[in-house]
Amino acid sequence: MNRSDYYTKKKMSAPKKAILWIIGILAIIAVIAVIYIGFKILSVGNAIHNPLDRNKSSLRSSDVSLKNGDPFTIAFFGVDSDAKRAANNGGQRSDSIMVVSMNPKKKTSEIVSVPRDTQAKIVGRGTTEKINHAYAYGGPTMAVKSLEKLLNVPIDHYATIDMDGMKEMIDTLGGVTVVSNSTFSYDGQSFEKGQKVHLNGKQAMAFIRSRKESGAGGDFGRQQRQQIVMEALANKLTSVKSVTHFNSLMNHIKDNVKTDLSIGDINTIRSKYNKANDTVNRHQLDGQGGIQDDGLYYFVPSDDSLNSIKSAIDNNLGI
């Protein structure tokens, strides 16, 4: 090899080494990122996982397989952050209660809102009280069993979200877009029926918390708005764009969500049950409300309404 060949090889090796060095650094960064994401997901999964005190619903003859895409039900509880009640060990009351059945093969979901003042038997306590007391007394297990007793349908899973945490989550995602079901004003915010509006966290909370204001529609109007916001939030969370907010979302979920579902289960639902959102049917319990002998207001659902709800859920579950 002559001198010119030697210097040519030496000059070419420098940029090659630089490229290899850069590729090596990028590979290390990629590995660190994967490890971080994996650690973050595992950490969040451990923090939010809170199993029910049972193996499966007593109304089920066999286990439900999410991996096989079996239709299932899940109860959603929106709980308040009452510092005074927490200080007195009073527990969290479920301000919002929804039961959702999902069937990816039928491409259908049924959403049922249960008024928090619904008169119901509290399973495990032997009393008849407002349904939202069940969560305060015995957490998600008592709440789920009491809902099953009321609706006579199996509830396979649950998820609880702190309402203040929902506000932060909506802000992190850049807000949600909804169509108002009523014309009303609350907490400095005004809404018009049929109007599409983009809401930040504070506005979304005003949208779902109003019930006594003129035009708000009482508990039933509020339940509709809770369903609307939950559906919009779910669509945002399952969108590709949510990945850009990964770290913040993971922190919000870790601080504000509890569920019996594992991270693997949640990922399975996200990937295998997205078709269940093609048709979403919303339901509300019908009945009458009034002051009972104990001096408290209760909503008493009619038998016809309970039977109609049971039929809709059972049909979607294929049972």
DSSP 71-124: -EEEEEEEE---HHHHHTT----EEEEEEEEEETTTTEEEEEE--TTBEEEETT
Sign of CA dihedral 13, 14, 20, 23: negative
Closest to 104 (Cα-Cα) out of 288, 278, 314: 278
Report pLDDT for 85.
Answer: 43
Sign of CA dihedral 243, 173, 239, 277: positive
Residue 206 inside a domain? The answer is yes
Sign of CA dihedral 283, 279, 269, 164: negative
Identify whether the C-beta of residue 184 lies closer than 8 Å to the C-beta of residue 174: no
How far is Cα 69 from Cα 105, in angstroms, rounded to an integer? 8
Report pLDDT for 87.
Answer: 47
Report pLDDT for 252.
Answer: 80
Domain hosting 56: range is 49-317
Averages of pLDDT over each 10 residues, the chain, 319 residues:
50 59 57 51 76 94 95 91 48 79 96 93 96 94 97 96 85 92 93 95 91 86 86 76 72 87 87 89 92 92 97 96
Identify whether the C-beta of residue 143 lies closer than 8 Å to the C-beta of residue 135: yes
pTM (predicted TM-score): 0.78
Report pLDDT for 211.
Answer: 85
Report pLDDT for 28.
Answer: 57
What is the CB neighbour count within 10 angstroms for residue 102? 28
Report pLDDT for 241.
Answer: 67
Residue 30 inside a domain? The answer is no
Closest to 314 (Cα-Cα) out of 144, 132, 71: 71
What interhelical angle do 163-172 and 246-256 show, nearest 10? 180
The two tokens of residue 246 are 């990964």
Closest to 166 (Cα-Cα) out of 267, 270, 60, 95: 95
Q: How many domains, the chain?
A: 1
Question: Interior CA angle at 119 toward 224 and 134, to 5°?
Answer: 90
Residues 6+ apart with CB under 8 A from 22: none
Helix (H, G, I), strand (E, B) or coil at 147: helix
Residue 43 inside a domain? The answer is no
How far is Cα 294 from Cα 283, in angstroms, rounded to an integer? 29
Helix (H, G, I), strand (E, B) or coil at 1: coil
Residue 21 inside a domain? The answer is no
CATH number, domain containing residue 310 = 3.40.630.190
Residue 31 inside a domain? The answer is no
Residue 228 inside a domain? The answer is yes
Report pLDDT for 89.
Answer: 47
Whole-Å CA distances, 212 to 55, 78, 216, 293: 41, 19, 6, 23
Report pLDDT for 36.
Answer: 47
Closest to 114 (Cα-Cα) out of 299, 270, 313: 299
Residue 162 inside a domain? The answer is yes
Residue 41 inside a domain? The answer is no
